[in-house]
């Protein structure tokens, strides 16, 4: 299977759905923070995680929040489930 790699995204040759790539089995900080921001948005706990995060990771959280605010279509299907 051939794949096109761009940063942390992997687009397999036989698929239209990008998959989040991993480096040596670990998620990048950016990918991890986006998942965390999604969880915090869905559970309405934004602001409660900063004190538990490493400073470099906590610094990425506002960027992930802004991304999700610009793309409400990403959270709509998840909100419909809950």
- Residue 43 domain-assigned (yes or no): yes
Q: Which pLDDT belongs to residue 1?
A: 37
Q: What percent of the chain has pLDDT over 70?
A: 68
pTM over 0.85: no
Is 57 within a domain?
yes
Mean pLDDT of 13-25: 54
Q: What proportion of the chain, given as a percentage, has pLDDT over 90?
A: 33
Q: What is the pLDDT of residues 20-53, one digit of tens each?
A: 554 566 888 899 999 999 999 988 887 778 888 8
Q: Is residue 29 part of a domain?
A: yes
| Exposed/middle/buried for residue 48 (C-beta within 10 Å: 0-12, 13-18, 19+) | exposed
The verdict on residue 7 lying in a domain is no
Identify the domain containing residue 38 by its residue range: 24-81
Instruction: Please report whether residue 6 resides in a domain.
Output: no
Q: Say how many residues make up the chain.
A: 82
């Amino acid at each position: 299977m051939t794949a096109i790699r761009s940063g942390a995204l992997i687009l397999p040759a036989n698929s239209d759905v990008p998959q989040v790539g991993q480096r040596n089995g670990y998620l990048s900080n950016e990918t991890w923070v986006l998942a965390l921001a999604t969880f915090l948005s869905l559970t309405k706990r934004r602001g409660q995680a900063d004190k538990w995060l490493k400073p470099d990771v906590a610094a990425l959280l506002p960027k992930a929040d802004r991304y999700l605010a610009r793309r409400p279509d990403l959270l709509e299907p998840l909100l419909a489930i809950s």
